[in-house]
Structure 1
């Protein structure tokens, strides 16, 4: 099929009920996202072939069952099988960076290059909501706080009587939700910068047009994937493309305000700000310890609607400043879909943070042990250090091309001590030597994974005194020594409890979910 004919056909594929039969699609990667893409397109009747360097045994077994082909091998160059297949569309899993040889080949060849989000939007009408329309989409991104805000917003929507679910980068592929036979009124879609980069490739042709969107904050991250801070920022900004109702932004983060100002949105979309200050009209913020909405009410010039109080949030372990900011952002998203403030308050009463997000592991002998293993970049670690100033800080891992100097010279300089772990310890130790020489620094030398956290806890016990906080906020990825940030956090918690004589199962329940819809 000629290039112009392919483009015309793809432009018309905007419904589950369109004719997707015979469309040649190469799917790159066979993770949970890649399989959801292959499964969806196979169900639609497309000619689907998956190309991956390695395949999960279960997914590999299922592909021929659903009618999709599978090729495994090195993708350091473009496989002959891929070029011979001559795909009309390539759908890439988010792990494939812009510099990947296959991605460069697809772009140079003029082949349509999508991510799973573009495909999911085009087929989102498979199971309409109760009103007969496809589910509304709310998009959430940011360097930090995405998962918490996504869960918060979905929980608030459910409390407001909507059938809603958190999906996307949070763990459940959007395509699985789109095909759920019970249908949804709204989907809260967490998007990584990788997924947004793929959306940006279709700028001007992408069909995605969310009801509301937010970029929570921006700080350097994933620079090794994007190639530069500017490219990372540009990818994040695509969250606001074609937003129809509410572009929610962080008033305390100038970059997010500029994103909204520069965004190509649908006429009538409003800019809704949030921060921890007194809100102006069209903002959410704080007044005398009360979280208020001055955006979604008629008399917003002179009035505000109460959502909840700082005191109530603190009682539930939700009082850290960055968590309060996430709550305000999620409230703005929920209010854009007319969820009453009373329902938002009720949702918050049952909400708990994810495990490994400022999770108190133990308090004994006046020492508080906190697991924030999910702080995988400097921006997130800065929020943790703000919540626990003067902590004994456990830091280090894979830095992902990001310089930690500003973090060390800023929040890190107030630490009582630093315990440095991970393969890139030297960069962290040198940052302390240059920018915070008064902070005692202890290194955990190359150690087997099983022993890292035992050594960390041993060092911390030798330093900590009554009233101290020992804070795991690594500011780095975990894959140098651990399976994931969750594995890192579990091992820290286990080591703490074992040393304190509690056993590894004596945790709290801060990771339990609030009211959400189970996708099954």
Structure 2
């Protein structure tokens, strides 16, 4: 641990999971902790009572005012930079950290090396969770004690404070977390892709990209980028890294020098081999990646690049990819009814993710809609138009997608069966409408390109209800 918090007055912003974790950790380190939250619900009061019983001060109903004497603010990831609390902190010259920054500063020396556990870091608009889980599986196959942490699996604070230290961590980082992590310096890192998302939080695409690019700062061995997404390579060029750190690309085609790619159905490495000008290492087969959709193969190549940067042998890449199983609601087949395949990609909550999912299937009955978060759909619809058998629209912002379909796919049938309904009742109507549009050999794809909270608790419930409605269809 490199910081002393004894007696330090710290304000923790937010009484969610990360806020509670940060408050408990800081209190345990001797800090004088005050948690602030603008809400005041029964659930929040219950959480507050638990912290107050441990000696933490909690202030509900006022998340805007900086507590007197505060010398550090630790924020939950969702609080935007424009929050009045942070304006007040800036005016008082009080630093603001996120949970990732706190975890980075609390790293302990590994007893075997005398150095803190290295981080292999992953960000991007889409594919972060899958990639970091693939990476953890590969590292495990290499015999390393590791965990997928950050926005997935173990919390990053729990990981760095674990009684038994990890050899290396696979860390998923959002743009929110990166914004509040000025000291972060990973061993190696990747930005998988960049597309407009969370612009209401960041204020502009430029600010969003800049926060994503923070992941490359101080990299020691490799900055991994997507050769098909120039914006990620641009972030590498702009990064201030340690001397000797290399730029390593990944591509779905044959790899160039210092790249990983695909040749004759094999994932190959021309970056981390002794003679990369004239040779390549075979890592795995495309068939070792599940599902073998193009964007998922790209995820596997990114994970492999980070693992190879850490010195993992080729065989462990293959074994780790074979052992990996994707999470629920990520391009998961939930049933085949009357020759029609039903795919749950409820986790596709933005246009970039939905585009990748649509590109993997043909022909498709697409279930789309929800909360669009200000996104435009013209490019998505224009690209996917020739794949669409039909579209079933749901959710509060379905009109935006309907208009894009009218402009770019006017001959594709569109049904809106769930108007005014939510939950299971809505999804049952949606699946039955999709079944009416589909024929043998078609795919019904739930890839909404939108958030779910207008009709469902979260994307998980949306996907679960989709699977349940498909099972009901099988019984008809």
TM range (shorter): over 0.9
CA shift for structure 1 position 187: 1.1
Aligned counterparts, 1:43-442, within 5 A: 43-52=28-37, 53-54=39-40, 56=44, 59-75=47-63, 78-79=64-65, 82-83=66-67, 85-125=68-108, 128=110, 130-199=112-181, 202=182, 206=183, 208-313=184-289, 317-442=290-415
2:135 match: secondary structure: helix
* 8 A Cα contact 1:129 1:184, kept in partner: no
CA shift for structure 1 position 251: 0.3
CA shift for structure 1 position 122: 0.7
Q: What is the aligned residue count?
A: 472
* 8 A Cα contact 1:129 1:135, kept in partner: no
When structure 1 is superposed on structure 2, of 54-63 and 219-228 the one drifting more is 54-63
Q: Give distance in 2, aligned partners of 1:358 and 1:278.
A: 25
What are structure 2's unaligned runs of at least 5 residues?
none
* 8 A Cα contact 1:413 1:435, kept in partner: no
* 8 A Cα contact 1:408 1:431, kept in partner: yes
Residue 491 of structure 1: aligned partner: 465
* 8 A Cα contact 2:362 2:442, kept in partner: no
Q: Give distance in 2, aligned partners of 1:70 and 1:382.
A: 43
Q: Give distance in 1, aligned partners of 2:111 and 2:145.
A: 9
When structure 1 is superposed on structure 2, of 304-313 and 288-297 the one drifting more is 304-313
Q: Residue 39 of structure 1 is aligned with which of 21, 24, 41?
A: 24
Q: Give distance in 1, aligned partners of 2:47 and 2:308.
A: 40
Alpha carbons of structure 1 residues 474 and 412: separation in structure 2 relative to 1, 3 Å: farther
What are structure 1's unaligned runs of at least 5 residues?
1-14, 503-520
Alpha carbons of structure 1 residues 378 and 129: separation in structure 2 relative to 1, 3 Å: farther
2:194 match: secondary structure: coil
CA shift for structure 1 position 413: 4.8
Q: Give distance in 1, aligned partners of 2:376 and 2:436.
A: 29
Q: Give distance in 1, aligned partners of 2:153 and 2:58.
A: 24
2:59 match: secondary structure: strand
* 8 A Cα contact 2:73 2:97, kept in partner: yes
* 8 A Cα contact 2:391 2:434, kept in partner: no
User: TM-score under structure 1 normalisation?
Assistant: 0.88
Give RMSD over aligned pairs: 1.5
Runs of 4+ in 1 over 6 A off after TM superposition: none
1:416 match: secondary structure: strand
Alpha carbons of structure 1 residues 171 and 65: separation in structure 2 relative to 1, 3 Å: farther
Q: Give distance in 1, aligned partners of 2:161 and 2:62.
A: 32
Alpha carbons of structure 1 residues 230 and 412: separation in structure 2 relative to 1, 3 Å: farther
CA shift for structure 1 position 305: 0.6
User: TM-score under structure 2 normalisation?
Assistant: 0.96
